[in-house]
Structure 1
Amino acid sequence: MFRNYTCLFFILFLTQVISQERDSNNYTYNGNKFSEKKVFDEAEMSYRKAISSEPNNLKALYNLGNTHYKEKDFDEAAQRFFQTQKETDNKYQKHKAFHNMGNVYMQQKEYAKAIEAYKNALRNDSTDDKTRYNYALAKELLEKEKQKQKDKESKEDQKQEEEKKNNQENDDKKDDGDSENQDKKEKDDKKSKNQGDDNKKDKNPKKNQDSDSKKDSPKPKGGLSNQQMKNLLEAMNNQEKKVQDKVNAKKIKGVPVRGKKDW
């Protein structure tokens, strides 16, 4: 009796598995038809139903990745291809999954990742000419990208060097200009000062004349001032005049009167 229940349970389980597998295959088939017609949203829905019915349906998983690739949803596509190669031990299926992963990375211009994906594809099938070609192309594009980046950095360094040189030249010109302005300012200040001194002389001519007289007249010995010297000379002249007057008076008294006759 127990054995009969066990057999019945096994039959029901097997029937359910077969039914799920059949449903999954049907969904996969429908997805392929939608994909051929480029109705990608319907194709995606069918593949997801197929995977939901049978998680081990690697064909539906792989085709779902292709659908994402055609929709340019590259991140989702890479994820589906990665899951496919991880879930299978079949070299052919691994090769196809890695090859398509390489194609995704090429679209994203991630050439280093593409090279690694194509390498893994070739490890599982080294005879695929398309994979070998894509691998060589990815290496070439990566080298060009590196050279382009190197040239860009070189130009940026050159530009920075030129800017640094121009800034230095501008600083030197500014310093020269500041020096010239300072020299001009000093000359203008000196000129203004000289003009100020000349104006003071013009406003005080007597003072200037006295100053010039003092400069031209030699200072008498003994430390006498000009005024003292002048007073001394006047006193001497007065004294000399008095003496001369006395002499003249005596001469007048001694002269005989010519109108009187002698006996």
Structure 2
Amino acid sequence: MKQLIIIFLFLLSASVLFAQEGKRYIKKGNELYQQKKYKEAEASYRKSVGKKSKPVEGNFNLGDALYKQKKFAEAGEQFSNLAGASPQNKALAAQAYHNLGNSFVENKKLEEGISAYKKALLNNPKDDETRYNLAYAQEMLKKQQQQNKQNQKNNKDQQNKDKKDQDKNKDPKKDPNKDPNKDKKDQDKQNQDKKDQQGEPKPQPGQLSKDDAQRMLDALNNQEKQTQDKLKNKKFKGAKVRVSKDW
């Protein structure tokens, strides 16, 4: 019995030492993170995770450090593991899903990001930042889908044009669109242009005056400025950072 007590006390002492050492690594990682030394912070957090002390805080902060280094796939994996392992802790799950969504969006995976944001809101419906990022990702996905449709249409139009050009080049003499009097018309036009140059300048049909052109240019510039002003108010919000949260 005495031997069992000694072994238990030894294991307890070792566990306390590991816990204290793990806390030191987390604290050091937080200091490095605040100094924007994200690579060094990542290394320190990994050591804290290895010590199995405060694994939630160490793992969450490790994900943040990876995110700051633009290692979005690795960061997403970290946050995904945290979210899945914390179903009872809704606050932690919401934070992890939010950052998972950000990792997906930064990695151009909009549909996955939208799904993660929705899960974050299920755990914390009052999170306006997550709701904003969800709307942002949905808008970006809509634009992406519209652009894909336009690209497909452009490709199809180009293919049709190429086919027509190929058919036309097979036998130029049989081109139904070729005007047999085109050469004569071109020569007549050149002669008329020479006559016009000798007299007063002849106004061209549909030609804009200088004032009209300036007004159109001003209107276009004004529209561009309005568009830029709208975009300034619609920017993606980054990861929620929790480097000292005691879960």
Q: Equivalents in 1 of 2:40, 2:161: separation in Å? A: 59
> What amino acid is aligned across from residue 126 of structure 1 in structure 2?
P
Structure possessing the higher radius of gyration over alpha carbons: 1
> What amino acid is aligned across from residue 163 of structure 2 in structure 1?
K
The answer to whether structure 1 residue 8 and structure 2 residue 6 are counterparts is yes
- What residue is the counterpart of 2:169 in the other structure? 170
- What residue is the counterpart of 1:231 in the other structure? none
- How far apart are 1:166 and its partner, in Å? 1.7
- What residue is the counterpart of 2:84 in the other structure? 86
> What amino acid is aligned across from residue 92 of structure 1 in structure 2?
A
Q: Equivalents in 1 of 2:27, 2:44: separation in Å? A: 8
Match of 1:24 among 22, 27, 30: 22
Give me the TM-score of the superposition, normalised by structure 2: 0.67
- How far apart are 1:135 and its partner, in Å? 0.7
1:99-248 equivalences under 5 Å are 99-173=98-172
> What amino acid is aligned across from residue 161 of structure 1 in structure 2?
N
Q: Equivalents in 2 of 1:174, 1:113: separation in Å? A: 57
- How far apart are 1:8 and its partner, in Å? 2.5
- How far apart are 1:97 and its partner, in Å? 0.8
> What amino acid is aligned across from residue 24 of structure 1 in structure 2?
G
- How far apart are 1:163 and its partner, in Å? 1.2
The structure whose residues are more often helix, as a share, is 1
- How far apart are 1:15 and its partner, in Å? 1.8
RMSD between aligned residues: 1.6
> Which structure has the higher relative contact order (CA within 8 Å, separation 6+)?
2
Q: Deviations over 1:119-163 (max 9, x none)?
A: 111111111000011111111110110000000000110111111
- What residue is the counterpart of 2:178 in the other structure? none
Q: Equivalents in 1 of 2:82, 2:109: separation in Å? A: 21
Over 6 Å off, 4+ runs? none
Cα pair 2:26 2:45 within 8 Å, conserved: yes
- What residue is the counterpart of 1:204 in the other structure? none
1:7-86 equivalences under 5 Å are 7-54=5-52, 57-86=55-84
> What amino acid is aligned across from residue 49 of structure 2 in structure 1?
I
- How far apart are 1:11 and its partner, in Å? 2.1
Percent identity between matched residues is 33
- How far apart are 1:77 and its partner, in Å? 0.9
Unpaired segments ≥5 residues, structure 1 = 177-263
Give me the TM-score of the superposition, normalised by structure 1: 0.63
- How far apart are 1:66 and its partner, in Å? 0.5
SS at match of 1:109: coil
Alignment length (residue pairs): 174
- How far apart are 1:174 and its partner, in Å? 5.6
Q: Equivalents in 1 of 2:38, 2:59: separation in Å? A: 14
